[in-house]
Amino acid sequence: MTETPIRLLLADDHPIVRAGLRALLETEPGMLVVAEAATAEAAVTRAAEGDIDVVLMDLQFGPGMNGAEATAEITARPGAPRVLIVTTYDSDAHTLPAIEAGATGYLLKDAPPEDLATAVRTAATGGTTLSPTVADRLMNRLRVPGAALTRREIEVLALVAEGFSNRALAERLHLTEGTVKSHLARAYSKLGVDSRTSAVAAATDLGLIRR
């Protein structure tokens, strides 16, 4: 009896990357690349057709939806395929939104080919595979008090890093200035700092925000 192959969708905006993934995975027994998508929107649409088991998803696609947003839309549907993130980005600012969006695994593009094949098989069975770098970051996030910032606190600090004032922050996030100040105060406490500049520097060092 022939084993049913794992049906794959490759979602990446670089044709060379998709070609490389296809060439690699189609040499693996029990895997079949069914489709490719050059945009996150196209990946969401194609994944909904019901004939995909695992989506290999990049995080950045240029203008429009990103990989984490696409992952959230894909995984929100009943009977959705698993999503395995395959990307070059390993900071908390990238990994956490993707994992919270429902990604089953997170692998970096420089991973050995055998690790990719194993991650695909693990994802197909509902298991989780994390690259060592990402796993270390998540463990550090649990161990380091400053890494326990909420998503909203991280969002506020990211906007502070862009130069937003408290008033501008409040307008951007549809909050009161008092709420913004509360988020900042909690972030300062968790990071062990006492200024906006120090908070941004600390959050950047922890990989929580990008500069």
Query: Are the C-beta atoms of 106 and 85 separated by less than 8 Å?
Result: yes
The CA distance from 8 to 206, in Å, is 34
Residues of the chain with CATH 3.40.50.2300: 6-140
pLDDT tens by residue, 58-109? 999 988 899 999 999 999 998 899 999 999 887 767 787 888 889 999 999 8
Please report, for residues 163, 165, 179, 199, the alpha-carbon distance to residue 202 in angstroms, rounded to integers and kept in the order given. 16, 19, 21, 5
Q: Domain 145-205 maps to which CATH number in 3.20.20.105, 1.10.10.10, 1.20.1260.10, 3.60.21.10?
A: 1.10.10.10
Rounded to the nearest angstrom, the gap between the alpha carbon of residue 46 and the centroid of all alpha carbons in its chain is 19
Report the pLDDT value the prediction gives residue 1, as an integer from 0 to 100.
43
Could you read off the pLDDT of 19-62 as tens digits, one per residue? 999 999 999 999 999 999 999 999 999 999 999 999 999 999 98
Find tokens 């044709």 and name the residue: 15
**What is the model's pTM?**
0.69
Which tokens hold the place of 173?
Answer: 């996030």
Closest CA to 81 of 48, 108, 106: 48
Contact between residue 185 and residue 157 where contact means Cβ atoms under 8 Å apart: no
- Domain spanning 6-140: which superfamily? Response regulator (3.40.50.2300)
143 — pLDDT class (breaks 50, 70, 90): low
Question: What pLDDT does residue 142 have?
Answer: 60
Cβ–Cβ under 8 Å, residues 98 and 106 = yes
Q: Could you write out the DSSP letters of every residue in 3-51?
A: PPPEEEEEE-S-HHHHHHHHHHHTTSTTEEEEEEESSHHHHHHHHTTS-
Report how far Cα 110 is from the mean position of its chain's Cα atoms.
Answer: 16
Only one residue has tokens 């990719």, namely 116
- Here the tokens at position 106 are 């997170």
Which segments of the chain belong to CATH 1.10.10.10?
145-205
CA 198/CA 187 separation, integer angstroms: 11
Whole-angstrom distance, CA of residue 19 vs CA of residue 180: 46
Structure tokens belonging to residue 44: 């969401």
Q: Which residues of 21-59 are buried (b: 16+ CB within 10 A; e: fewer)?
A: beeebeebeebebebbbbbbebbbebbeeeebbbbbbbb
